[in-house]
């Protein structure tokens, strides 16, 4: 445990009030006092500071209470903005969001060059176009978040699991993007990013602990435990795709046999319909969706088989982490999510008592098929909401010219 000083206490209280308004607003000062455990006068002082800093605003008055109507507080959408970038197979996408997570502008572009520098240039150019088109003031930009399908170490290195050993190995993507954009950059694994986005903008607003199963070509996982994002000692927490669910089964690129993503992933689904002329990663998700809607028996058989192994993975996750719920999200067509959840139920018995938890054990993410960069845009904001010492990857440059971030202790 580390000691605290007066400034640290003030910053901690500011973050607590900011986060409570973000997650529970519109909310009155009296309600904030109950939630946080400070006196109403103390809450009023902090709320005034946050309002003066342009981070929260008075939303209106609560009618129907005793005495004078109480003023409600909510986030000021114009208090800050962030850019979210997502690198996926053959394309990059980006969004600009305000402080409430509302998308201001979005864009997706196809890329043919997969080299590290060319990819970094495409991501940086997309970020600069989004900033210019949305006319976000420089002093209101909280940073750029970037989601990548690989392992991130300390926010600076990206290891492509498929291309390990080539130019991508230990490529300083965050540092490169900071130099190209002149902005704070956070790079994180796509599954962790998806979980963070769901924590801030989706189901995580109503539940404290969940495991996010993120579908891309493969399948990964993101952990939120007691409201905090957890990435592990080396950024690999939640690597569910390489959980062995069928000993001696199909050979995986990791060297093991019977890994989950060999049976439950977009790659595995596409493999059933790609034919001999194509590889599964050449099958667009739209074609998978069309085949499913047309009742292709090959996909129906895949759903039935995948559901068996999904049940095993869910039961193992529950035994290890005891989450409120497990969330499915990412790049699968929505109908495949719905069919997988239907086929996986009933789930294997859970011997852990749920103590009246009303959440279902398996859910579809609120943003499962929407704007994959939305979670990345949440990365700069997530640092403020990590109240007990962040486990998120830190940006390269710890300095910041943003007054609001300095006010909240992110500098």
Asked if residue 234 is part of any domain, the answer here is yes
Asked if residue 1 is part of any domain, the answer here is no
Question: Looking at the structure, do residues 115 and 237 belong to the same domain, yes or no?
Answer: no
| Final residue of a structural domain among 75, 99, 118 | 75
Question: Looking at the structure, do residues 265 and 185 belong to the same domain, yes or no?
Answer: no
Question: Looking at the structure, do residues 292 and 154 belong to the same domain, yes or no?
Answer: no
Question: Looking at the structure, do residues 129 and 213 belong to the same domain, yes or no?
Answer: no
In this prediction, residue 371 has a pLDDT band, given cuts at 50, 70 and 90, of: low
CA nearest neighbour of 307 among 280, 352, 337? 337
Question: Looking at the structure, do residues 232 and 336 belong to the same domain, yes or no?
Answer: yes
In the predicted model, is pLDDT for residue 217 greater than 90? no
pLDDT, tens digit, 9 for 90 and up, residues 101-119: 888 999 988 887 778 888 8
Least confident segment among 67-71, 306-310, 314-318, 330-334:
67-71
- Distance from C-alpha of 221 to C-alpha of 237, rounded to nearest angstrom: 8
Least confident segment among 33-42, 64-73, 87-96, 298-307:
64-73
Asked if residue 22 is part of any domain, the answer here is yes
Contact present, 296 and 275 (Cβ < 8 Å): no
59: domain CATH number is: 1.10.10.10
| Mean pLDDT of all residues belonging to the chain | 82
Asked if residue 240 is part of any domain, the answer here is yes
pLDDT, tens digit, 9 for 90 and up, residues 52-64: 888 889 887 766 5
- Partners of 212 in beta bridges: 222, 327
- Distance from C-alpha of 62 to C-alpha of 65, rounded to nearest angstrom: 7
- Distance from C-alpha of 296 to C-alpha of 74, rounded to nearest angstrom: 48
393: domain CATH number is: 3.30.420.40
Question: How many domains, the chain?
Answer: 3
Question: Looking at the structure, do residues 70 and 217 belong to the same domain, yes or no?
Answer: no
- Distance from C-alpha of 180 to C-alpha of 129, rounded to nearest angstrom: 13
Instruction: Report helix angle 334-344 to 285-293, nearest 10.
Output: 60
Asked if residue 118 is part of any domain, the answer here is yes
Question: Looking at the structure, do residues 263 and 285 belong to the same domain, yes or no?
Answer: yes
Residue whose tokens read 């046999």: 257
Contact present, 376 and 193 (Cβ < 8 Å): yes
Tell me the helix, strand and coil percentages in the chain, rounded to 5: 40, 20, 40
Give residue 5's pLDDT.
Answer: 65
Specify the DSSP element, H or E, that contains 109. strand 103-110
Give residue 172's pLDDT.
Answer: 83
| Final residue of a structural domain among 57, 75, 93 | 75
Domain that holds residue 20: 6-75
Asked if residue 266 is part of any domain, the answer here is yes
Question: Looking at the structure, do residues 180 and 98 belong to the same domain, yes or no?
Answer: yes
Q: What is the mean pLDDT of residues 326-337?
A: 85
174-192 burial, b at 16+ Cβ within 10 Å, e below that, comes to bbbbbebbebbbbbbbbbb
CA nearest neighbour of 300 among 263, 260, 330, 339? 339
In the predicted model, is pLDDT for residue 164 greater than 50? no
Give residue 61's pLDDT.
Answer: 75
Residue 55, both tokens: 């981070």
Asked if residue 199 is part of any domain, the answer here is no
Question: Looking at the structure, do residues 359 and 216 belong to the same domain, yes or no?
Answer: yes
| Final residue of a structural domain among 346, 364, 382 | 364
């Amino acid at each position: 445990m580390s000691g605290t000083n007066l400034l640290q206490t003030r910053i901690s209280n500011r973050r607590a009030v900011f986060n409570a308004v973000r997650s529970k607003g519109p909310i009155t000062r009296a309600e904030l006092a109950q939630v946080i455990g400070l006196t109403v006068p103390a809450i009023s002082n902090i709320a005034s500071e946050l309002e003066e800093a342009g981070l929260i605003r008075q939303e209106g008055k609560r009618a129907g209470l005793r005495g004078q109507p109480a003023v409600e507080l909510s986030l000021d959408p114009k208090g800050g903005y962030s850019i979210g970038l997502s690198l996926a197979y053959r394309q990059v996408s980006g969004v600009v969001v305000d402080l409430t997570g509302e998308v201001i502008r979005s864009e997706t572009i196809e890329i043919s060059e997969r080299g590290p520098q060319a990819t970094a240039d495409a991501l940086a150019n997309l970020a600069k176009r989004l900033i210019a088109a949305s006319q976000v003031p420089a002093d209101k930009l909280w940073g750029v978040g970037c989601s990548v399908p690989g392992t991130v170490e300390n926010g600076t290195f990206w290891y492509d699991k498929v291309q390990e050993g080539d130019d991508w190995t230990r490529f300083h993507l965050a540092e490169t993007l900071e130099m190209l954009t002149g902005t704070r950059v956070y790079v994180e694994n796509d599954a962790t990013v998806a979980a963070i986005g769901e924590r801030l903008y989706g189901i995580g607003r109503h539940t404290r602990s969940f495991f996010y199963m993120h579908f891309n070509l493969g399948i990964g996982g993101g952990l939120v435990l007691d409201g905090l994002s957890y990435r592990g000692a080396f950024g690999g927490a939640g690597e569910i795709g390489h959980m062995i669910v069928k000993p001696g089964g199909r050979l995986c690129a990791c060297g093991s046999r019977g890994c989950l993503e060999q049976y439950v992933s977009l790659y595995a689904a596409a493999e059933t319909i790609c034919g001999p002329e194509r590889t599964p990663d050449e099958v667009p998700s739209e074609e998978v969706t069309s085949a499913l809607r047309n009742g292709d028996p090959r996909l129906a058989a895949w759903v039935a088989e995948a559901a068996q192994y999904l049940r095993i993975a869910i039961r193992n996750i529950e035994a290890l982490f005891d989450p409120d719920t497990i969330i499915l999200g990412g790049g699968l067509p929505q109908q495949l999510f719905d069919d997988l959840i239907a086929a996986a139920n009933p789930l294997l018995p859970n011997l852990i008592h749920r103590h009246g938890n009303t959440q279902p054990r398996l859910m579809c993410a609120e943003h499962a098929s929407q704007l994959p960069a939305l979670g990345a845009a949440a990365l700069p904001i997530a640092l403020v909401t990590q109240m007990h010492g962040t486990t998120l990857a830190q940006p390269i440059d710890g300095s910041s010219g943003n007054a609001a971030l300095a006010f909240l202790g992110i500098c």
